[in-house]
Amino acid sequence: MRAVLFDLDDTLVDQETAAGAAVVSWAATLGITGPGVAADWARIAEPHYARYQRREITFTGQRRERVREFLAASPARHPGAVLTDEEADGLFAGYLERYESGWAAFDDAVPALRHARATGLTVAVLTNGDEAQQRRKLDRTGLAAEIDVLVASSALPAGKPDPRAFRAAVDLLGVDASEALMVGDSLDKDIRGALAAGLPAVLLDRHGVHAGAGVPTVRTLLDLAPHLGRA
């Protein structure tokens, strides 16, 4: 093992909590409340973000579509409204400000990154996201100084789980696929995608929802040491 690639969102940074709190606060300013607000936003976001990763839509475009669909799901409050791009951008900005203010690294992130570096491994982040935003996320959470390389899908031929994302990342690091361990929380995007590209992989299953997945699994990043191939 010469390198370890970490996913960013919900592996190193608690993206789910930040997004959930942000959308609840933001939606309330639009008169949208209720126990399902965060879940609705997450459900709506996933397919549009996947379209962005497939290069079917721009990064800004997927943001606009998320806002439009979210508001369309509340017709009593926004009856028949069709948002212009400018209106959608303005509304998303209210969510984005709250989302960014909620960014925080998991407690095990820095110790895990430092341990991997101490073993002599190159430490990289491989993330499905816009490079500028993800770099800002690393800076704000204090993780930028703990890694060697940021590899964002916006600079790659495709996003995870496409094997091209992983192959491009290891090429950038100058290592073979078999020499780079992928660590992430998504069984499909991080783990199965990495395995398809020839990388070994470890699933981070913080909440124990992937029992029987048939892949190496840890419940915390502090348990990665035996998988790094170093004493």
* Domain interval for residue 198: 3-14+104-227
pLDDT-derived band at 231 (thresholds 50, 70, 90) equals very low
Q: Based on the domain organization, do 66 and 117 belong to the same domain? A: no
Is the predicted pLDDT of residue 124 greater than 90, yes or no?
A: yes
Q: Based on the domain organization, do 74 and 163 belong to the same domain? A: no
pTM: 0.92
pLDDT in tens, 128-160: 989 999 999 999 999 999 999 999 999 998 899
Q: Based on the domain organization, do 160 and 215 belong to the same domain? A: yes
pLDDT in tens, 33-87: 989 999 999 999 999 999 998 889 999 999 999 999 999 887 555 555 688 999 9
- The residues, any chain, with a CB within 8 Å of residue 50's CB and separated by 6 or more, are none
Is the predicted pLDDT of residue 212 greater than 90, yes or no?
A: no
Burial per residue of 201-215, b for 16 or more beta-carbon CB atoms within 10 angstroms, e otherwise: bbbbbeeeebeeeeb
Task: Specify the pLDDT at position 157.
Answer: 86
In the chain, % of residues over pLDDT 70: 96
Looking at the 3D structure of the chain, how many domains does it have?
2
Residue ending a domain, among 101, 133, 159, is 101
Q: Based on the domain organization, do 115 and 193 belong to the same domain? A: yes
Name the CA dihedral angle for 115, 116, 117, 120, rounded to a multiple of 10 degrees. 120
Can you tell me the mean pLDDT for 167-182?
97
Q: Based on the domain organization, do 193 and 221 belong to the same domain? A: yes
Residue ending a domain, among 101, 122, 149, is 101
Task: Specify the pLDDT at position 230.
Answer: 54
Q: Based on the domain organization, do 34 and 80 belong to the same domain? A: yes
Q: Based on the domain organization, do 81 and 133 belong to the same domain? A: no
- Altogether, the residues listed in the chain come to a count of 231
Task: Specify the pLDDT at position 75.
Answer: 58
